[in-house]
Amino acid sequence: MNSADQQYLALVRDVLENGYYDNNRTGIPTKKLFGRSFQFDLQQEFPILTTKQVFFKTALKELFWIYVYQSNDVRKLHEMGVTVWDEWAREDHTIGKAYGYQVRKHRQIDKLIEGLIHNPQGRRHIISLWDLADLEEMALQPCAFMTMWDVSDGYLNCTLVQRSADLGLGVPFNFTQYAVLVHMIAHVTGLKPGKFVHYLNNAHIYENHFEPIKQQLERTPFPAPTLWINPEVKDFYQFTPDDIRLIGYQHHPKIEMEVAV
C-alpha cells in the first residue's frame, strides 16, 4: 500500500469511529479530530490517492491560480476549465482579498525563492495567507493558510498548516497540490524535494460524506505514481500546467460528494 492511501484511510477510519460529532457554520454536521498530520518523503513517492480518482489537472490549475498567476479572479480559473471556486465568487468575479491576492500583495513566492537561494539555513522561510487586516474582505478565509520551509543537506522540506481540513473533498487535493509546489520550488532553487508534513488542526468529515468514504475504505490501493517536471523550465513563473505530469497514475473511480459552502 502506498503511503498516501495508507495514512489517509487510517485517518478517515479514526474520524468515523472516534470523531467528535457536532454542527458548524455550514449547517452540515461533522465528525472531527484535533491535531492530526500526514508525513511524506517526496524522494520515496508522490502523494496522491488511488482509492478514488483525484483530478490532478484540476488540482494543479488551482495551485497555479494561487501561486504562479497569483490571482483571486475566478475568470482566470474559467479560462482553464476550472469551476471549483464558483460558489464563493462575488459580483466582481473575485473571491476578495484571499489566496492569490495575498501571495501577490506581499511578493511571497519571490521572497521565498530569494531566501532559499541566498540564506538556505534561515528559519523564517514562511508563506502566510492569513492577513489579519484583510480577513473580513475574503469570500472564504484560507483553510490551508501557511507553509514553512526548511533546507537540510540539499533537500527542501515543507510543512503545510491547515486550520480546517475537509477530509472528503479538500484534503486529497491539498496534499497533492502542495507536494507539487515543493517539487516546483525545489526545481527552481537547485534543491531536491525532501520531507513534506501536512498538519490538520480540525480534521473533519461531513455527515453527507460518511457513506461515500465508507465505500472508499473498502478499496485496495494501487502503487503510487511518479511526478514529471519539465527540466527545461528554470523560472518559477515560466511554468505552465503542461510542464507537470503524473506518470503511471492508476486509480479507482471517482466518488461523488457535495461541497459544503
Please report the DSSP string for the chain in residue order. --HHHHHHHHHHHHHHHHPEEE--TTSS-EEEEEEEEEEEETTT-----SSS---HHHHHHHHHHHHTS---BHHHHHHTT--TTGGG--TTSB-BS-THHHHHHTTHHHHHHHHHHH-TT-S--EEE---GGGGGGBSS--SEEEEEEEEETTEEEEEEEEEEEETTTHHHHHHHHHHHHHHHHHHHHT-EEEEEEEEEEEEEEEGGGHHHHHHHHTSPPPPP-EEEE-TT--SGGG--GGGEEEES---PPP---PPP-
As a whole number of angstroms, the distance between CA 124 and CA 111 comes to 10
Does the annotation place 124 within a ligand binding site?
yes
Does the annotation place 123 within a ligand binding site?
yes
Does the annotation place 174 within a ligand binding site?
yes
Does the annotation place 205 within a ligand binding site?
yes
Does the annotation place 219 within a ligand binding site?
no
> Going by DSSP bridges, is the β-strand pair 20-22/155-166 parallel, antiparallel, or unpaired?
unpaired
Does the annotation place 18 within a ligand binding site?
no
Respond yes or no: is residue 158 known to be catalytic. Answer: no
- Catalytic site residue from 33, 49, 77, 143: 143
Does the annotation place 113 within a ligand binding site?
no
Does the annotation place 163 within a ligand binding site?
yes
User: In terms of C-beta density within 10 A (0-12 exposed, 13-18 middle, 19 or more buried), how is residue 42 classed?
Assistant: buried
Does the annotation place 36 within a ligand binding site?
no
Does the annotation place 90 within a ligand binding site?
no
As a whole number of angstroms, the distance between CA 166 and CA 206 comes to 8
Does the annotation place 164 within a ligand binding site?
yes
Does the annotation place 93 within a ligand binding site?
no
The binding site for dUMP comprises 25, 123-124, 163-166, 174, 204-206
The binding site comprises 25, 123-124, 163-166, 174, 204-206, 260
Residues involved in catalysis? 143
